[in-house]
Amino acid sequence: MNSESRAEAPRAMPNPPFPPADVRPEHRTSIDSPGVVPADSLFQGGQEVLIRHNGEHYRLRITKSGKLILTK
């Protein structure tokens, strides 16, 4: 298989030392509201990212039509 036919592997995001400013608790509008993470900060120019949650990996990707799909 040549390198042109292989799908690009999703980039693993490094763990930042602290959450981005817009998801820190002091930037939330109330205690019950979730933080907001802009998609471009997650994807950083790519089309998919891997998310690790409770020891499991999930794939979040942007479709051709611009929608988000989360799969296990």
Q: What string of pLDDT tens digits covers the 72 residues of the chain?
A: 444 445 555 565 555 545 555 555 555 555 666 788 899 999 999 999 999 999 999 999 999 999 999 999
| pTM of the predicted model as reported, rounded to 2 decimal places | 0.54
Pairing of strands 48-53, 56-62: antiparallel
SS3 for 42? Answer: helix
User: What is the reported pLDDT for 3?
Assistant: 45
Measured over the CA atoms of residue 29, residue 30, residue 31 and residue 34, the dihedral's sign is: negative
Domains and CATH numbers, the chain: 21-71 (2.10.70.10)
User: What is the reported pLDDT for 34?
Assistant: 78
CA dist 37 and 19 (Å) reads 10
User: What is the reported pLDDT for 15?
Assistant: 54
User: What is the reported pLDDT for 35?
Assistant: 84
SS3 for 37? Answer: coil
